[in-house]
Amino acid sequence: MPNATEIESNTRPTKRLKTISGLTLPPHPPGTDPTAPQEAHLPPHSRSSPPGPSTPPPPDTTTNQPSPIPTASLPSRIHPPSYHVPLLLTSPPSRTALLQWFTTHYHRRAMPWRKPFVPPTSMSRRDLSRRAYEVWISEVMLQQTRVSPALAERWTRWMERWPSLGDLARASEQEVLAEWAGLGYYQRARRVWLAAREVWERTEREEGVGTEPVLPGSVEELIKLPGVGRYTAGAVAAIVFGVPAPMVDGNVLRVMSRQMGLHGDVNRDAKVGAVIWKAAEELVKVVAADGEEEVNERPGLWGQALMELGSTVCTPKPNCGECPITATCRVYQEGLVLAGKADGSGVGDIEDVCTMCAPLETEDSTRNEGLLSRFFAAPPTGRRKFPEPGPPDPEILDIIIKHARRFPRREPAKTVREEEMVVCAIRSSDGQFLIHRRPDEGLLAGMWELPTQILPESNDSVMRTRKSAASSFVRDLIAAWTGKRPGWKSLKHIGEIAHVVWPFSHLKHTMHVQWLEWNGAASSLSPGPTYRWASVEEIDGETMGSGMKRCWEQVRREETRED
């Protein structure tokens, strides 16, 4: 665990970077220090009312019209790379507006892991350990699903079972996997357990048995732990330790793409992703420097505010009328130009044209058919007047939202691979079932299941074919253990009892549940190293994937009818 000096030394940038992955930062106003505090310290739980949508810049005194932010040359969107430098970097009022908006939503969507920031040097080792552990588990769970009361209940149940990092480290792997059931991606649960054990064992080895284990306080050390990526490390470091570390999840990628006017694939284009990460890093340093204390809550609040904005307002179909930072949003300004409500004079001389943005005109998406002509057509009555400062009317807002929905760029979804399989419920004469433990690597690693075989791709996956496949699979399985293939009287196929369809992110399983009877006690057939006989009650308590759990529920229902 870093000491107080190490924590503080990691929180303050010694020098402001002048570029973001090759993008030149805009100049700061003369006589200003970009790292100096630029506004009053924001309380962590301000109860002030959230600001409304950002108003346009002050009007030009010569025309009495708003002075628009220069936009890309529309409709072609020709612009230099510097166009993508976040305007938030040089807009303290917008940064304050976002933080004030979040502190209000903080109370509206209170979650048990959201707590007031306490400087790490003011906390006991035990309290610091607990706080870092709470945030870490919440962030891993949030990678699986959205913020919701149901997720809050799962997090609370986890914390009640293992209140500290040491408690989790002393649990068994199977207990952790069982508690994680239903959240998906079980490898993440396994890695959480492995990381907890690593921190606990290292603490006991280096600092003595019984010493409270504490997660590291820097991104560099956190990211060395099993399963801790750049985002999770940044979240723990910023929220708990006050380190100005970026927190960039899918929601933040979308917000930043729109703020920066970056029309690229944020998930698959490494160059686009790197630019957004670097911009987020620069922003959080500026936000931290806005505060009065060396170590403060602003980095953590800022990261959470961006994520909250992306999950509630700047969604795939955004509600731009509720956004507190439209004044710095490139895409919002472009929408005003497209609606004929702002000056589309462009960003000036262009020496190097941006190579990261894909042209809007070349997108082939049925969802957007017909939109381009409406977006880029000249207003039917010629150039319209600029609106008075304030939120745009619904018609204009609709045009802005339609334009914003095109950011970030999305590649067509890949076709999900489909697999059909037979799931074999093999019951012995004394009422036990055969179960199998999956390999330690790959899909559903280490989970228990009923013996399963993937069916070959075929157009004749009829019940007769599945019955034959299930019977042959189980006979081959037993022959591999015993060296003798069982006869038809020893193993009988009773029937097909259910079909369970279960989707994953990259494939879909259609599981045909087969009922087979072994004509003998479980003790008469010794299974292999990854197979064992288990009672109904034992299987109820085993760690299974959610789809397999559904299959087992069908078997339990059938078994009840049999009795």
Residues 432 and 473 in one domain: yes
- Residue 74: the pLDDT is 81
Domain encompassing residue 545: 417-562
Residues 283 and 401 in one domain: yes
In a domain? residue 21? no
425's CB contacts (< 8 A; 6+ apart) are 433, 450, 497, 513, 514, 515, 516, 551, 555, 558
Residues 515 and 452 in one domain: yes
Residues 254 and 313 in one domain: yes
Residues 370 and 273 in one domain: yes
Residues 286 and 391 in one domain: yes
Domains: count for the chain: 3
Residues 406 and 441 in one domain: no
Quote the DSSP letter at residue 296.
-
Residues 368 and 284 in one domain: yes
List 8, 134, 139, 420, catalytic entry: 139
Task: Please identify, among 413, 433, 461, the residue that sits at the C-terminal boundary of a domain.
Answer: 413
In a domain? residue 337? yes
- Residue 362: the pLDDT is 42
Would you say 447 and 399 are in contact if contact means Cβ atoms under 8 Å apart?
A: no
413's CB contacts (< 8 A; 6+ apart) are none
Residues 301 and 210 in one domain: no
In a domain? residue 48? no
Active site (annotated) includes residue 538 = no
CATH number of 214's domain: 1.10.340.30
- Between CA 332 and CA 354 the distance in angstroms is 19
Compute the Cα dihedral for 275, 281, 282, 287 and give only its sign.
Answer: positive
In a domain? residue 99? no
pTM tops 0.85, yes or no: no
For the chain, residues with pLDDT lower than 70 are 1-68, 144, 348-351, 361-391, 458-461, 562-563
Task: Please identify, among 394, 413, 432, the residue that sits at the C-terminal boundary of a domain.
Answer: 413
Residues 139 and 213 in one domain: yes
In a domain? residue 442? yes
Residues 261 and 408 in one domain: yes
Residue recorded with tokens 């430098």? 85
Task: Please identify, among 413, 439, 460, the residue that sits at the C-terminal boundary of a domain.
Answer: 413
- Residue 68: the pLDDT is 58
